[in-house]
Amino acid sequence: MGTYGRQILAGRQAEELLRSLLHLAAKHTHTAPGHPAISAARYCFQAHCADHAHLSELATLAETVAQWWDGIEAYVLTGITNAAGEGNNRVIKLDARCAFGYRNRANQRLRSLCATTRRSRREGVPD
């Protein structure tokens, strides 16, 4: 395996270690995982990234995980995420861009409500 192959392997291993850390939330739907399990998974991820610190992508990933650790830990402990709200915000911004802005707030509010209802998102999905 060449240099690039080892770098790709190190990146894939870091990805799998991070996935195993996040998978702790899905695995324990009725009981939250203990802090020792979370700490062990985080340590494995950080140790792997430290061993491959010469790869700037892994160093950046490790820094990002460290900066967002409070939110990541909250997700792993509770399984609660703000993905639905972020998805609605994305749809609203996309709708506003397509309309080149709105002239008044009433139109914006109505279009936003229409764009984020389940029925409008399921137009192409047969019942």
The residue extents of the domains of the chain are 3-78, 83-121
Question: Can you list the pairs that 41-48 forms with residues at least 24 positions away whose Cβ atoms lie under 8 Å?
Answer: 41/17, 42/69, 44/17, 44/20, 45/14, 45/17, 45/18, 45/21, 48/10, 48/13, 48/14, 48/17
Q: H or E element: which one contains 101?
A: none
pLDDT of residue 26: 64
pLDDT of residue 29: 57
Give the pLDDT band of residue 24 (cuts 50, 70, 90). confident
Mean pLDDT of the chain: 84
CA–CA dist 90, 99 (Å, integer): 14
Comparing 3-17, 60-74, 79-93, the range with the smallest average pLDDT is 79-93
pLDDT of residue 125: 53
Q: Is the pLDDT of residue 90 over 80?
A: yes
